[in-house]
Amino acid sequence: MGDFDGNMTDAQAGDFDYIIVGAGAAGSVLAERLSSDPDTRVLLLEEGRGAGGHWASRVPQAQPWLLRDPTRVYGYHVEPGPRGPAERWLRGRMPGGSSAVGAMLWLRGGEADWTHMARVTGSADWDWPEMARVLRLIEHHAFGARALRRAGPLRPLMQAVLRAGAESGWRLRADFNEADPEGLGPATWMIDDKGRRVTAWTAFVRAAKSRPNLRIETGVRVDRVLIDEGRAYGVEGRRGTAQLVFRCRGEVILCTGAVITPKILMLSGVGDGMALRRAGIETKHHSPNIGRGLRDHLVLATNWRLRHWRDSDNRAYTGARLWMTVARYLLSGAGPLGQGGAELVGFIASGKTAERPDLMVTAAAHSLEVAPGIGGLEPEPGMRLTAHVLRPESSGYVFAAGPDPDTPPRIEANYLASERDRLRAILALRKLRGLAQRPALAEFIEGETVISAWARSDDDILDLYRRYSRSAFNAVGSCAMGPDELDPLDARLRLRGVARLRVCDASIFPEMPAGGTLAPVMAAALRAAEFILSDAGRHDEEAPAAEAESQPESDAAEAELDRAQRDDALEAPTEAGAAPPAAKSAAG
């Protein structure tokens, strides 16, 4: 591994059955699964370096070190839009991808969420029985077969938050990884018994990397999929200044995440014809919804001043306490350094009419200063309560901005464009305030800090979102699967119109899985491996027909009209600022 000198010999070229691009949450699972058959040759390409992993990716709360390091993390500029914040979307740029830099919350999504996913994709392959099965396989693979995985008992402050939840009428949960996650309870973390972060890479690739049939190349940025006569036959990229080509006889599987996968497809000539022309890229296959349908969770974090230092971790990393914190972690794997991003999670309904929980809340015993980028800890005792709307309706887009792979993608998140999302976002803050003001927390909490306390009216609260909310880094949907011919992928994750090409990463979900996206992405990768292995040898017969290619853009007047309308939306963003998805039949 990693011994590649920039040039492949003829014997190596063309010898792979599968090329997996991106060794993140999805790519790591796929690499392990697809290489489990010793007769299958798999190439895993990853732009990040350091296959052994960075020390900070093993220590859970060393996360801020990583997030400030541009060699380990991508930071994509996101257009602020009328209601959203100006921000950068962070993504892991290293083996393990975002699972190596994220907040480690393991949230499956509930039965109702996966039932709905099956409905919108038109396929029982994504229904709860199948997804619960693969989620269990992953959990047992990565963590061992225990039902509950977390470090130590809850501290008094968090026990009080649970009591406050009960006083608010919320159910209390011992484990979210059940069919129905509604309620408030301890978060489950991707952290092992020794207090080390478990990444998709450490859980899956580490055990597989000595397999002779798995070749792993890090430090390789893939720029394009090579396509000839409607079939993918390899990828092109570079390491440093060396241009590289990797060929395969089977399938290329893009696992580069919801931002970069649509960019690579567009650079390969696959995407909306008009958007490609604008970017100066020749169209090879017109697939109008690539890059559209982008959704993300927009999180509002509120800080609460605590009465006592004993309840807050805010000074755990200063002065002599830093050494105590480090020593405690080294001795037991516990304490502030050994925790996930939040200690409690809640899935709650915004109102009586909500069919399923439509808000997620979290609680943590620290509070961050408001600052550009990653803020430091507040110098006073504080805690943090966050909330976000689940399954937001508002969607944006991500497009390649030009033919040069070095040009950053153009991203419009288009948060809170929908009235429904705005109403729920307002209710989310009111729910947090209701929780913090319950009697159970009176002896702990002094009050809400000025950052959010001023926002009383609905308009103030929306203004607060515009100033201080931020992405949960959960973006999905930019290369979504679905039953319609205009959906980029079919339900087996094959790209419509290009044979031997699949996508498997966060971009595939037509709606946001409730909660986090890490567990759903890893589960989807396990499903994808099952599809790929069962389709093996039938690439061409099974590939979905290239209808869109055989029907040029100019053929259909309706399609032209759609495009013109979309174009207007691109030229002069509406209040929503979004490029709406190209017309498609309602999927559910």
Ligand X SMILES: Cc1cc2nc3c(=O)[nH]c(=O)nc-3n(C[C@H](O)[C@H](O)[C@H](O)COP(=O)(O)OP(=O)(O)OC[C@H]3O[C@@H](n4cnc5c(N)ncnc54)[C@H](O)[C@@H]3O)c2cc1C
Does residue 221 bind ligand X (CB under 6 A)? yes
| CB nearer to ligand X: pick between 104 and 441 | 104
Does residue 361 bind ligand X (CB under 6 A)? no
End-to-end CA distance of the chain: 45
| CB nearer to ligand X: pick between 21 and 157 | 21
Q: Please identify which residue in 41, 72, 83, 91 interacts with ligand X, judged by CB under 6 A.
A: 91
- Are 209 and 216 in contact by the 8 Å Cβ rule? The answer is yes
Q: Regarding beta strands 42-46 and 470-471, do their DSSP bridges make them parallel or antiparallel, or are they unpaired?
A: unpaired
Q: How far is the CB of 45 from ligand X (least distance, A)?
A: 5
Does residue 203 bind ligand X (CB under 6 A)? no
Residue 455 structure tokens: 């926002």
Q: Which residues contact 167 (CB under 8 A, 6 or more apart)?
A: 438, 439, 440
Q: How far is the CB of 265 from ligand X (least distance, A)?
A: 11
Site for ligand X in 386-415 (CB under 6 A): none
Does residue 303 bind ligand X (CB under 6 A)? no
| CB nearer to ligand X: pick between 489 and 548 | 489
Does residue 35 bind ligand X (CB under 6 A)? no
Does residue 103 bind ligand X (CB under 6 A)? yes
Does residue 99 bind ligand X (CB under 6 A)? yes
Question: How many degrees, rounded to 5, is the angle at CA 368 between CA 364 and CA 369?
Answer: 160
Neighbours of 30 (CB within 10 A): 30
| CB nearer to ligand X: pick between 222 and 440 | 222
d(CA 494, CA 503): 7
Does residue 517 bind ligand X (CB under 6 A)? yes
Does residue 108 bind ligand X (CB under 6 A)? no
Does residue 506 bind ligand X (CB under 6 A)? yes
Specify the stretch interacting with ligand X by CB under 6 A; choose among 406-414, 510-518, 528-536, 545-553. 510-518
Residue 462 CA to its chain's centroid (Å): 24
Specify the stretch interacting with ligand X by CB under 6 A; choose among 21-29, 126-134, 456-464, 565-573. 21-29
Does residue 24 bind ligand X (CB under 6 A)? yes
Specify the stretch interacting with ligand X by CB under 6 A; choose among 420-428, 490-498, 518-526, 573-581. 518-526
Q: To the nearest 10°, report the CA torsion of 162, 167, 170, 175.
A: 20
Task: Name the helix (H) or strand (E) containing 264.
Answer: helix 257-267
- Are 408 and 401 in contact by the 8 Å Cβ rule? The answer is yes
Of 417, 531, 539, 524, the closest CA to residue 480 belongs to 524
3-state helix, strand, coil in the chain (%, to 5): 35, 20, 45
DSSP per-residue codes, 176-190:
S-SS---EEEEPPBS
Question: How many degrees, rounded to 5, is the angle at CA 53 between CA 48 and CA 55?
Answer: 125
| CB nearer to ligand X: pick between 71 and 585 | 71
| CB nearer to ligand X: pick between 273 and 516 | 516
Neighbours of 138 (CB within 10 A): 20
| CB nearer to ligand X: pick between 25 and 435 | 25
Q: Give me the 341-360 binding string for ligand X, x by CB under 6 A, dash otherwise.
A: x-------------------
Q: How far is the CB of 132 from ligand X (least distance, A)?
A: 17
Q: Regarding beta strands 270-271 and 242-254, do their DSSP bridges make them parallel or antiparallel, or are they unpaired?
A: unpaired
Neighbours of 367 (CB within 10 A): 25
Does residue 111 bind ligand X (CB under 6 A)? no
Half-sphere exposure of 456 (CA within 13 A, CB side): 1
Task: Give φ, ψ of 41 to 5 degrees.
Answer: -95, 125
Segments in 510-586 forming alpha helices (H) = 518-535, 539-542, 547-550, 557-571
- Are 201 and 49 in contact by the 8 Å Cβ rule? The answer is no
Q: How far is the CB of 354 from ligand X (least distance, A)?
A: 22
Specify the stretch interacting with ligand X by CB under 6 A; choose among 284-292, 428-436, 514-522, 576-584. 514-522
Does residue 92 bind ligand X (CB under 6 A)? yes
3-state SS class at 346? strand
Number of shown-chain residues binding ligand X (CB under 6 A): 40
Does residue 22 bind ligand X (CB under 6 A)? yes
Specify the stretch interacting with ligand X by CB under 6 A; choose among 393-401, 459-467, 515-523, 530-538. 515-523
Q: How far is the CB of 143 from ligand X (least distance, A)?
A: 15
Site for ligand X in 47-76 (CB under 6 A): 47-48
| CB nearer to ligand X: pick between 302 and 474 | 474
Residue 358 structure tokens: 């439509």
Residue nearest to ligand X (CB): 24
| CB nearer to ligand X: pick between 490 and 505 | 505
d(CA 432, CA 332): 33
Does residue 252 bind ligand X (CB under 6 A)? no
Specify the stretch interacting with ligand X by CB under 6 A; choose among 40-48, 298-306, 454-462, 544-552. 40-48
Task: Give φ, ψ of 77 to 5 degrees.
Answer: -70, 135
Which position has the token pair 């497809």?
A: 265
Q: How far is the CB of 514 from ligand X (least distance, A)?
A: 11
Q: How far is the CB of 463 from ligand X (least distance, A)?
A: 25
Give per-residue burial for 227-257: e unless 16+ CB within 10 Å, then b: beebbbbbbbbbbeeeebebbbebbbbbbbb
Specify the stretch interacting with ligand X by CB under 6 A; choose among 91-99, 270-278, 394-402, 456-464. 91-99
Specify the stretch interacting with ligand X by CB under 6 A; choose among 102-110, 156-164, 174-182, 527-535. 102-110
d(CA 286, CA 238): 26
Does residue 257 bind ligand X (CB under 6 A)? yes
Residues in contact with ligand X by CB under 6 A are: 21-27, 45-48, 90-93, 97-99, 101-105, 107, 221-222, 255-257, 260, 341, 473-474, 505-506, 516-519, 521
